Chains A and B, each alone.
Chain A
Amino acid sequence: MMKWAKKDLEQFVKEKEYIDTLFIPLIPIHTSIDEKMTGSGFQAELTNLFSRIIEEQFRGRIVLAPDYYYIAGNAEAEVDRVNNWIDSFTEKPFSYVFLFSFDRNWRKSESDLRGELLWFPGLRHGDLQSTETQSFVKEQAKEIVEIIKESWQT
């Protein structure tokens, strides 16, 4: 998928007819309570890992939006703004929009979102370099890849 960077977006502008999918990572940030703060840092890094894998796999058809950060705890209040992001691509609306998050609060508002929610239970804490985390990421990424492929086929 194409990143939100000059070189990639230049390619997007040129090849628009082939690129019909938008991928937005939704990342909550905890700003108080030490433990939650470090935990949300870990989740943000984890989310970035997934974005990178999906990007490598599908860079010719997906645009990766910049990360959507919000203060954790009130995902419902963010629904309008997320929808605004999606709707703002007016010149050539995307046929497929995926919203990727480890924050389970989005599930309550799933039906109000103008995109398909890809929610996965993440890992609370861990070490990105550990083989345990790496195999978790690889397995989950495979699932996401399959879900995206299936959506395209229908």
Chain B
Amino acid sequence: MSEPKKVSRRQFLNYTLTGLGGFMAAGMMAPMVRFAIDPVFKPAAAGDFHSVADVKEVTNEPQRFEWEVEQVDAWYESTIQKTAWVYRKEDDEIIALSPICTHLGCTVDWASNEEYPKQFFCPCHGGRYTKDGVNVPGTPPTAPLPVFETKVEDGMLYLGEEIAR
């Protein structure tokens, strides 16, 4: 039967001090490491969705829906109002278009011009877009209206980021 190894006083102190030092170093490093990689764990603000309407309200005809988002710049925190033209396509897909004219930024209206009852119309310079938001050639805008990311949860329509096309 071998005798259990004896640990000298010196060895015991060495072990405990190394162990303790290790713990202290780890304790100091942890917040630094966390700080360095923290942004990785933050949910991307870009993926924010906002509840906008009951999906039952969405019809085949484009309608205006409004919602509010918080916006922070260097000086102010403010609430800004967002708007979208929302409708349901024949195949039931929900389309949400930004109302901001891609020409100079006026707000476009659906069917507001009698001559073009099935188009989006910009009152400023007569820019026009078809129902799917594509700009009509020969009018001032050079790009289609941006679309919002959409998702439906528990019967509510959520809109996310605008995607330029």
Contact = CB atoms under 8 A, between A and B. Distances in A.
User: Are both chains from one complex?
Assistant: yes
B124 to A, nearest CB: 4
B12 to A, nearest CB: 70
B157 interface: no
B103 interface: yes
B26 interface: no
Contacts of A36: none
Contacts of A145: 123
Nearest to B106: A60
Contacts, number: 34
B123 A59 contact: no
A2 to B, nearest CB: 9
Interface residues of B, number: 11
B104 A15 contact: yes
A105 interface: no
B107 interface: yes
A33 B101 CA distance: 46
A69 interface: no
A18 interface: yes
A60 B101 CA distance: 9
B105 interface: yes
A11 B105 CA distance: 11
Contacts of B105: 59-60
Interface of B: 101, 103-107, 122-125, 140
